[in-house]
Structure 1
C-alpha cells in the first residue's frame, strides 16, 4: 500500500468558534462576571489560535492541492498572549 496515500500533517493552534472550544470557559466566566480569570505565571506566553472556519478552509484547500506541503502550521497570523485573551 506504500505510495497509495498522500498525507499532510496539520499542526493547529487552539481552535475556537461556535462556543464549543477550549476558550469557551474563559469567555463564559468573563461574560458572567465570575471574578478573576485564571492566568498562569505572568500571562506572557503566546497562545497560537485558529478559528474553526479558517481551519476548515485550510483542510479544504489541502484536499484539493495535496502537493502544497507535507506539514502545515494552521495558526492565525496575529499572536495573543494568555493575559490578552483573558482581558
Structure 2
C-alpha cells in the first residue's frame, strides 16, 4: 500500500512539472480581418491594447482581403 502511494505521488509530481512547462509557452492568436483604411488604425489599437493587458497571449492581426475573401478563407480553414 505504501509503495502504491509512493508511485502515485511520483506520477503526480511528474505530471505537475510537465503542466507548468506547457503553460509557460505564449499562446499565439492570428486574427483574420477585412478592415482597411481608417479602420486599420482601430484594429492596430485593439491589438496593442489586448497584447498589453494579456502578457501570456500574443495577438496578431492579418488582413485577409475583402469580407467575402475572408469568409472563404475561414470556411476553408474550418473544413481542414
How high is the TM-score relative to the length of structure 2? Answer: 0.33
Normalised by the size of structure 1, how large is the TM-score?
0.31
